[in-house]
Copies of this chain bind each other. A is one copy, B any other.
Amino acid sequence: MRDDGANSGPELLLTLRRGAGAPALGIQVEDGLREAIRAGRLRSGDRLPPSRTLAHDLAVARRTVVGAYEQLVAEGWLEARTGSGTFVRRALPGLAVPASAAVVPAAPEAPAGPGRLRYHFFPGHPDLSAFPRAEWGRAVRAALRDLPDSAFGYGDPRGHRELRVALAGHLARTRGVVCRPRQIVICQGAVQALALLVRSHAERGAPRVVVEDPYLPEHRDVLAHAGADVVPVPVDGLGIRDESLVAARPDIALVTPAHQCPTGVVLAAGRRAAICRWAQESTALVVEDDYDAEYRYDRAPVAAVQSLAPDQVAYLGSTSKTLAPGIRLAWLVVPEDRLERVVAAKRYADAGSPVLEQAALARLITSGAYDRHVRAARRRQRERRDALVAAVGEHLPDARIEGAAAGLHAVVRLARPVGARELVAAAREREVGVHPLSEYRADPSPETTGVVLGYGALAVPAVREGVRRLAAALSEVG
């Protein structure tokens, strides 16, 4: 399949930089194409190479090229013609006329990653169609009606007080988190929380930050960009290895005890205790990323590690898995002795988060609507989880499913390693998006022993059909 478009478009001279400091590949592809058009190397009416061909030539994921094409179509540089491909637009927007920027039609949003494949087992999303639009709208209206004028001024950089009070109660009740509202810093998503933690430490030198291996590559990039020296420590069947963690002598240890990201392992009680003990004896900070704790299906949730050592553990949660990532609301519970520095980092990062989202979420929590929404989402996701487990049992009888007791994703351990790129390609052929476990390793290998399957955004029939197609893909590459 890789050759099908090799002769069907112009040769494109795009040079991509890789490694630390290089911009995202998608942006480089976009910029390169735009520059090629601007410089006349690509002319109106020229046909672009099929995305698969260009992706192959550039050694990038096909979705990277598809995304770049979509962006340029939205900006008016390219046009997609059904059935015949992507072309440089015939009537190009004026290249130097400012007003023309405004008349580029507002294209529909470029579909986000998960939308491009019919069965995309994307682990980062809840079901975006379940975002409670009506309740959120009511909460915003109530906030607009009730907030005093002063709430629209520059506020406390920690965030809107009503939300911090509501969260302190909610987190105590649901996760055993021990805190006062003053210790809560509202952040723009977990990404900002991680960046603030690193930066608040940076005046004492670049902090060594332990992450679990495997981990989310995006988090490693955020930590490194904020100035951390990132040290991966292996995860086994009981969670992160506490002895290796201690031996790494980190300033900060970022862990996901409730449902390790991405393996789904629950951190064993003995290791929780050992890590807390170590933190109490050192000056290190443990950061507990409780990213999907709301989704636990089979037994009572274990309380947050923060409850064992509130002076040593910062607790991080968000609405990205319960409501939607686009709301960009996260909360960081900070031990008292770190609080000033983290608040200063937030003040100098953006002077505080927008008030209306915060006031809306506070209302949803205090009215009980947030709990009701989470319960309904948990019921829905449990059905999907059950469908996933059943479909894996049916179509992949040799595989083992792990980490399915909680969260919005599970890991399918394969009977034998397969080539990761080959698997992704074979799955894509069948409109299935999968993420090999090897993508999450500090030292990625070309073969993978498992697949991370996010089911949060797929309805039950799609989960079943997706697993069936995945099994077919595996049989091809296995």
Which chain B positions have C-beta within 8 A of A350? 187-189, 191-192, 195, 328, 349-350
Q: CB within 8 Å of B: which of A96-114?
A: 96, 98-99, 101-104, 106-114
Complex Cα distance A418/B53, Å? 74
Complex Cα distance A324/B124, Å? 33
Q: Mark A4-20, 1 if CB is under 8 A from B, else 0.
A: 00000000000000000
Complex Cα distance A403/B163, Å? 40
Between-chain CB contacts (< 8 Å), 24 pairs: A21-B203, A23-B341, A24-B344, A27-B340, A71-B182, A74-B161, A98-B172, A99-B172, A101-B179, A104-B180, A109-B151, A113-B153, A114-B150, A115-B150, A125-B153, A128-B149, A188-B350, A189-B350, A189-B351, A327-B354, A327-B356, A349-B350, A354-B357, A356-B357
Q: CB within 8 Å of B: which of A312-331?
A: 324-329
**Taking the nearest CB of chain B, how far is it from the CB of A333, in angstroms?**
10
Complex Cα distance A345/B147, Å? 33
Partner of A165, one of B102, B128, B225: B102
Q: Mark A124-144, 1 if CB is under 8 A from B, else 0.
A: 110011010110110011001
Q: Which residue of B lies closest to A107 (CB)?
A: B161
Which chain B positions have C-beta within 8 A of A149? 128-129, 131
Given A188-B354, A357-B354, do A152 and B179 touch, yes or no (CB 8 Å)? Answer: no
Which chain B positions have C-beta within 8 A of A71? 182
Q: Which residue of B lies closest to A163 (CB)?
A: B106
Partner of A326, one of B125, B153, B221: B153
Q: Does A148 contact B (CB under 8 A)?
A: yes
| SS of A interface (majority) | helix
Which chain B positions have C-beta within 8 A of A431? none
Q: CB within 8 Å of B: which of A179-202?
A: 179-182, 187-189, 191-192, 195
Partner of A168, one of B101, B141, B155, B182: B101
Which chain B positions have C-beta within 8 A of A256? none
Which chain B positions have C-beta within 8 A of A107? 161
Which chain B positions have C-beta within 8 A of A147? 109
**Taking the nearest CB of chain B, how far is it from the CB of A351, in angstroms?**
4
Which chain B positions have C-beta within 8 A of A181? 75, 101, 104
Q: Does A374 contact B (CB under 8 A)?
A: no
Chain B CB within 10 Å, residue with most, of A115, A136, A340: A340
Check B137–A141 contact: CB distance below 8 A.
Answer: yes
Partner of A357, one of B21, B102, B357: B357
Check A23–B343 contact: CB distance below 8 A.
Answer: yes
Complex Cα distance A343/B350, Å? 16
Q: Mark A154-176, 1 if CB is under 8 A from B, else 0.
A: 11100001100110111011001
Q: Does A222 contact B (CB under 8 A)?
A: yes
Complex Cα distance A133/B325, Å? 25
Complex Cα distance A161/B72, Å? 12
Q: Does A352 contact B (CB under 8 A)?
A: yes
Check A128–B153 contact: CB distance below 8 A.
Answer: yes
Q: Does A236 contact B (CB under 8 A)?
A: no
Complex Cα distance A371/B175, Å? 47
Given A99-B172, A168-B102, A179-B98, do A191 and B327 touch, yes or no (CB 8 Å)? Answer: no
Given A101-B181, A133-B144, A179-B101, do A150 and B124 touch, yes or no (CB 8 Å)? Answer: no
Q: Mark A448-460, 1 if CB is under 8 A from B, else 0.
A: 0000000000000
Q: What's the interface size class on A, roughly?
A: 35 or more
Partner of A195, one of B221, B349, B355: B349
Complex Cα distance A307/B162, Å? 43
**Taking the nearest CB of chain B, how far is it from the CB of A161, in angstroms?**
6
Q: Does A389 contact B (CB under 8 A)?
A: no
Complex Cα distance A329/B350, Å? 10
Check B75–A180 contact: CB distance below 8 A.
Answer: yes
Q: Does A353 contact B (CB under 8 A)?
A: yes
**Taking the nearest CB of chain B, how far is it from the CB of A116, in angstroms?**
10
Complex Cα distance A195/B225, Å? 14
**Taking the nearest CB of chain B, how far is it from the CB of A313, in angstroms?**
13
Chain B CB within 10 Å, residue with most, of A98, A191, A221: A98
Q: CB within 8 Å of B: which of A46-78?
A: 71, 74-75
Given A75-B180, A180-B75, A181-B101, do A188 and B153 touch, yes or no (CB 8 Å)? Answer: no
